[in-house]
Amino acid sequence: MQLLKKPFLQERFPDAWCVYLAVPGGVTVVLSSVGAAVRAVLCPRPDGSLKNIVLSFADDGALAGNGLYAGAVLAPAAGRISGGRLPVAGRTCALTRNENGVHTLHGGSENASFRNWTLEETACTPEGAGARFSLTLPDGLDGFPGNRQLYADYRLSPEGELTLVLTGTSDKETYFNLSSHCYFNLSGCFGRDACDHALQINAGRFVTNRPDFIPSGTAPAAGTPFDFTSSRTLRSQLEAFPGDGQIAANCGWNHGFVFNEKRVGADALCTLPGTGAALAMDSDAPCMVLYSGGYIPEGLSLLSGVTANGAARLARALRRGDEEERESVPDGAPSEPAAEESGGAALHSGLCAGLFPASEIETQRSVPACALAFEFQDYPDAPGGHGFPYRTARAGETVSRRIRWHFMP
């Protein structure tokens, strides 16, 4: 296993870091302390280049405050809380209503996704490479009670499994619904939609939505475009149910899937038929929100891959484990090796903590539905009085969530 740590966006955040976790010759996961986010997942191509299979911006600077929450940890509460009303300890807390002035989305306008987390530690052994991030949220921020301490622990195994364990504690009773907002496209091609991906989800029921994405109940998945109990492409489901009202009202899928009580193996499997590429996912969450990206704007500049020269540069940096890799281009000024290898190309603005010059990266412009998000979480809007399980955390209690992605690119 290999690990590399580099300063990141420090002109905006004094102590921001980018961490590379790598399986030699295999997958490399790039983490950002901003949002405790998955910045990239780089997978080898036969020609020696790398494809990126998570939606991420071509420029590091676009990460902070990005409206897609791309790759970021969602905290203190993933998803929507209707009307910004949170019942806790016998009273109703008024939360920041950061979605159209009506609902609270992903924890409010000052949520954890837009903040720089502290990189507490990194570790690299033959059994895995990992990083731990921490963040403190003060009492009353966005209306949530309690001084809250959050941790995000990532670990990449030699088998290409990335595990994220999120934990939260508070000095007052409060609500946590911790998750991650990674989007995936297994082809690494974000210039077309991801409806050719096939999904299999261990869920016989799904959560129906109102037009404002607030739950209206649950329904059986069988006989609907929400039936992924066997592997089906999104496109085949759209073609089989062309007039489905839920799909039309939500611009695709933006719905919770309630996992079956018997959970053996992966909770969800995403594949790209005809390629062998697959992503298996499991979690201890009761639900998973599938967002098919229908509201992703067109024209965003996204990182789609790294050239063979860039892949070689990364391999050298990882072998050296040098936090200030001298063959990179720090501070916007190409070093001699970088200029020689890139033909004198200037650094692409801030890309992946300045490791790659512009000539060694591949970018594409986004289209709607170009990537799929799988958000493992509580029942959507659990505090909203829909009859879903809802539980607050007592003062001093530790709440946790585990999410695991197994990359088979």
The residues, any chain, with a CB within 8 Å of residue 364's CB and separated by 6 or more, are 189, 190, 191, 301, 302, 304
Instruction: Give the angle 185-289-143 at the CA atoms, nearest 5°.
Output: 120
pLDDT band at 343 (very low <50, low <70, confident <90, very high): very low
355-372 pLDDT, tens digit each: 888 889 999 999 999 999
The residues, any chain, with a CB within 8 Å of residue 346's CB and separated by 6 or more, are 329, 332, 334, 357, 358
| Residue 258, token pair as written in the block | 């309630």
Helices (H) and strands (E) in the chain, counts: 4, 28
Point out which residues pair with 170 in neighbouring strands.
Answer: 148
Whether residue 84 contacts residue 46, with contact meaning beta carbons closer than 8 Å, is answered with no
270-316 pLDDT, tens digit each: 999 999 999 999 999 999 999 999 999 999 999 999 999 999 999 99
In the chain, what are the domains?
Answer: 2-183+298-364 (2.70.98.10)
Distance CA(143)–CA(174), nearest Å, equals: 10
226-276 pLDDT, tens digit each: 999 999 999 999 999 999 999 999 999 999 999 999 888 899 999 999 999
Q: Answer left, alpha or beta for residue 386, where phi above 0 means left and psi between -120 and 50 means alpha.
A: alpha
Q: How many CB atoms lie within 10 A of CB 345?
A: 17
Dihedral pair phi/psi, residue 232, rounded to 5°: -145, 145
pLDDT band at 352 (very low <50, low <70, confident <90, very high): low
